Amino acid sequence: MRPGETIEAPNMGMRVTCRESAASSGGEVVSFDLWMRGDATPPPMHVHPRQEERITVMSGSVRSRSGRADRVLSPGDTVVSPAGEPHTVGPAGNEDVEMVAELRPALTYEQFMERSFALDRAGYVNAKGRGNPLRMATAKPHEAEFFLPHIPLGLQRALIRALDRLGRRLPGKI
């Protein structure tokens, strides 16, 4: 993604506008505006083993689960999830929310977003924002350091690589 570029995932109820890309920051950070529809399902609890994630609320009420803390954030509030800490954010109610997200270092997170959003736009994600695991594995979450907590990372990497290979054989490639 280039700074200023916007991508949408209508079924997931999300829109992202790039502020700073891996390329423009020398790999230091990927930063983006994140809009979520009020009825959007938040991403699953996840962990970035080598990335810090910082979320600042711009509008709306955001439910943040980070580590053991579960709280509702208001505009101006920021939550920082250090590398390795399970976390997620999403609308706290039915109103749309806007946030600024930063991941340090950038790694390949923006490519993961682009692939995930492309799967959504191609109709491979349902109205609850969830997709077939074979299809979603083709977004390569393991390369973006997007993992589920409490499951060994080596096992997840191996499983996602296998699902990716199978998913690429499905008809209707992106």
pLDDT in tens, 143-170: 888 999 999 999 999 999 999 999 888 8
Closest CA to 122 of 139, 108, 110, 147: 139
Output 82-87 pairs: Cβ under 8 A, ≥24 positions apart.
82/52, 83/48, 83/49, 83/50, 83/51, 83/52, 84/47, 84/48, 84/49, 85/47, 86/45, 86/46, 86/47, 86/149, 86/150, 87/45, 87/46, 87/47, 87/53
- List the pLDDT tens digit at each of the 174 positions of the chain: 899 999 999 999 999 999 999 999 999 999 999 999 999 999 999 999 999 999 999 999 999 999 889 999 999 999 999 999 999 999 999 999 999 999 999 999 999 999 999 999 999 988 787 888 888 899 888 888 899 999 999 999 999 999 999 988 888 766
Q: Global pTM?
A: 0.90
Closest CA to 128 of 13, 16, 15, 46: 13
pLDDT at residue 142, as a whole number: 84
